[in-house]
Amino acid sequence: MNHATEPRPANPLVSQNSFRTQSYISRSAPSFLDARAHLPEPVLPERPEWVEMYWRAWELAWGHLKRPQSGSGFVANYLSAAGKPHVFLWDTAFMLQFGVYGRRAFDFVCSLDNFYARQHEDGFICREIDPETGQDHYYPFDPDSTGPNVLAWAEWRHYRATGDDARIAQIFWPLLAYHQWFRANRTWQSGLYWATGKSSGMSNQPRVPDSRNHHRHWSWVDASMQAALNCRTLEQMATLLQESEWAQALAEEHTRLAKVINTSLWSEEAAFYQDVDGNGRFSRTKSVGAYWGLSDKKLIPKDRLDLFVQHLRDSWAFNLPHRVPSLSADSDGYNAQTGHYWRGAVWAQTNYMLLKGLRTVGRYKLAHEIALNHLQNVADVYVRTDTLWDNYAPETAAPGDPARPNFVGMTGLTPISMLLEDIIGVAVDWPQRRVIWDRRLQTNQPYGVRNYPLGEEGTLELLGDAAQISITTDVPFTLEIREVDGQTLQTAVPVGTTEIDLT
């Protein structure tokens, strides 16, 4: 669809989207052999299969780096989702979460620039674009046309890891216009949001009765929670940019939306947030999508948090041999054998979202347990099949059905991001010049990471065992060490090598 012929009213914020007037500047990507020297190196002497899988994931990802086609309107090189002819908004937002660790070799975040460059005058961004022509795969009024609304979440996580505030100034306006398009076109009078199977990213999840995954006038829990999280994230961006009026408006919008979510989508009977129809009837399914609410610190009331999280520990719900299924085992339509795509299969992107949410609400131990279970199941399948798959069975260490092999793709989140962040346990809040090491891995030998990127040019080597930690860096920062027993140590780390005795 040609942007110039759109009949819909223009959003003045789109005029501040600089990506729409950019031109592509040709840049070559390094070979994987050259890039490897710029990637973090996990140190896990007792888990060589995890390290092998980590490097294999990067190698597969490197095979999917693309240049824009002439006439496509794309403005940057990008990482393509494995085996898919189009570029997908949801895939790209999640692939960025492991791409951030390879930014010294390839600027993965610029994969999103192509979506901003194709933003429509009214703020709409299609969720699926043909990279050959730059044409949208859906018309805006198609219920499947866009979503999930996770771009701001993805960009904010990139900012916290890198400290790149110049990018926030660029992306705030297209993201705000996109947020307003969602509010105008994907809400009911209550203020709650709707989605479809495709626009939610969870295509065949049987959430709405008697439906082929269209909304049927139901309010969708993940779409509503993503909108609330979007308000909160854009408010933080506005505050950073000193856009005080926008920050206040977004905070007020968040307050209103959080109230209606907690009034309408919380089922007392199920002790879970669920989709609901116009008469207040709850869905008979519990979707992993409800856990988007954990990433928003201001959304889940304290008196509900333990009940909500408990489902992740229950063996009849989400605590299955391979954690965490996309649909709880006590839901209508759950498929125990293969997960049948989104009817219970385990997916890297929803597990990653869940783990980040658990860390946001301080459930570090549970996050580590789930990550360890998930990574080991994926590793078991990798050892047997010599590849990574886009989804996995919930009750056996096996690929799902249907499932695609060589999928990096979003599955790169498991052997790269989850390994670094949730297994080794290293995370960075670079605007605060802070590194957090959540040390929960049980091992007899020193473990950690080398060549870890800090900010624009810094690097870190972080190794340790139960008795001592060794830190080598070329930029100063504050290190926060979290131990299994709950003890926390905070120390200023200067340039050079620092040894910390823990005995």
Residue-wise pLDDT for 214-253, tens only, equals 778 899 999 999 999 999 999 999 999 999 999 999 999 9
Per residue, the 3-state secondary structure of 470-498, as one string, reads EEEECCCEEEEEEECCCCEEEEEECCEEE
Q: Residue 194 pLDDT > 70, yes or no?
A: yes
List, in sequence order, the alpha helices (H) in 163-301.
165-185, 221-240, 244-264
| CA nearest neighbour of 192 among 125, 276, 268, 273 | 276
In the structure, what pLDDT confidence band is assigned to residue 208 with cuts at 50, 70 and 90? confident
Q: Residue 4 pLDDT > 50, yes or no?
A: no
Taking the CA of residue 4 as centre, how many other CA atoms within 13 Å lie in the half-sphere pointing to its CB? Answer: 0
In the structure, what pLDDT confidence band is assigned to residue 462 with cuts at 50, 70 and 90? very high
In the structure, what pLDDT confidence band is assigned to residue 1 with cuts at 50, 70 and 90? very low
Q: Give the amino acid at 471.
A: I
pLDDT of residue 82: 79
Question: Which DSSP helix (H) or strand (E) runs through 444?
Answer: none
Total residues belonging to the chain: 503
pLDDT of residue 502: 87
Q: What DSSP letter does each residue of 187-204 carry, written as one string?
A: B-TTS-B---TTTTT-TT
What value does the mean pLDDT of the chain take? 95
Parallel, antiparallel, or unpaired for β 434-439 and 477-483?
parallel
For the chain, percent helix, then strand, then coil, each to nearest 5?
Answer: 40, 15, 45
pLDDT of residue 3: 45
Please tell me the pTM assigned to this model.
Answer: 0.97
| CA nearest neighbour of 179 among 136, 137, 119 | 119
Alpha-carbon distance of 99 to 61, in angstroms, equals 9
Q: Which residue has the higher pLDDT, 438 or 83?
A: 438
pLDDT of residue 484: 81
Alpha-carbon distance of 80 to 266, in angstroms, equals 37
Which residue's entry shows tokens 């859906």? 138
pLDDT of residue 209: 82
In the structure, what pLDDT confidence band is assigned to residue 6 with cuts at 50, 70 and 90? low
Q: Residue 317 pLDDT > 60, yes or no?
A: yes
pLDDT of residue 363: 96
* Token output for 464: 């340790």
* Token output for 409: 């793709």
Mean pLDDT, rounded, for 110-131: 98
Q: Residue 369 pLDDT > 50, yes or no?
A: yes
In the structure, what pLDDT confidence band is assigned to residue 360 with cuts at 50, 70 and 90? very high
